[in-house]
Amino acid sequence: METSGLAPSRAWYMLAAILVVVAAAVAAGALFMSLRQINFRPITIPGETDINVMTPGTWIVCIESTDGSSPVTNDMHIEFLDPATGASLPMRQRSFPLTYQLGGRRGVSVGDVTIPRAGRWTVTGAPAEGAAPVEPYTEYVIGPDPVGSVMWTMLISGIIIVVLCSLALGTWCLVFLLRWRNRGTA
């Protein structure tokens, strides 16, 4: 086997390392952006809370525990009232509940509603007939459904990370192979 005597510079290993560092930065940025897309606000249940809807769409209602335990969902009747028209939108049960943990708070979705227009809305809630009382360490929160936006952020950043890591691994393997083949020359 004939070798040319030329081996790639060790600087190519540095390029592979830089690609891995950039992939890690993309992962950290995606995580940060995903967490910023979660915008839940506390609401008073039982009772009523006025909310200002900036963007129409699906809004999610969750129950959170503040002591780190899994929240127990109560049978609550929650609806959204449009003060401008008097229209009432009942909350729908979600087919797949969203669960999350942020710091010492754990949450699970109890339902959602599609709000058709921006503006002021009133969220009202009362225990259903015969329902257990709300635990003192739980609270209800509401916000735009983050699943779609978080999914796209993670999907796009995941593709970028896979491409960068593949380039880094390919570069490292190619440089290693070429340097190994030419190890006896020079």
- pLDDT of 4 higher than 70: no
Are the C-beta atoms of residues 16 and 175 closer than 8 Å to each other? yes
User: Which residue, among 67, 147, 148, 133, has the nearest Cα to 106 in the 3D structure?
Assistant: 67
Give the tens place of pLDDT for each residue, 21-56: 999 999 999 888 877 777 788 887 778 888 888 888
Is the predicted pLDDT of residue 160 greater than 90, yes or no? Answer: yes
The fold for domain 40-145 equals Jelly Rolls (2.60.120)
Question: Could you tell me which residue, 166 or 103, shows the higher pLDDT?
Answer: 166
Whole-angstrom Cα distance, residue 106 to residue 39?
A: 15
Per residue in 59-73, pLDDT tens? Answer: 888 888 877 777 777
The set of residues, in sequence order, having a beta carbon less than 8 Å from that of 73 and lying 6+ positions away, is 63, 108, 110
Q: Looking at residues 99-123, what average pLDDT do you find?
A: 86
CA-to-CA distance for 53 and 44, rounded, in angstroms?
17
Alpha-carbon distance 129 to 21, whole Å? 56
Average pLDDT over residues 143-171: 88
**pLDDT of 1:** 47
**Mean pLDDT, all residues of the chain:** 83
Angle at the Cα of 185 from the Cα atoms of 183 and 186, rounded to 5 degrees: 110
What is residue 159's predicted lDDT score, i.e. its pLDDT? 93
Question: Is the entire prediction scored with pTM above 0.85?
Answer: no
Burial class (CB in 10 A: 0-12, 13-18, 19+), 19: buried
Query: Which among 130, 131, 121, 136 is positioned nearest to 59, based on CA atoms?
Result: 121
- Residue 151 DSSP class: H
Q: Which two tokens stand for residue 53?
A: 């809807």
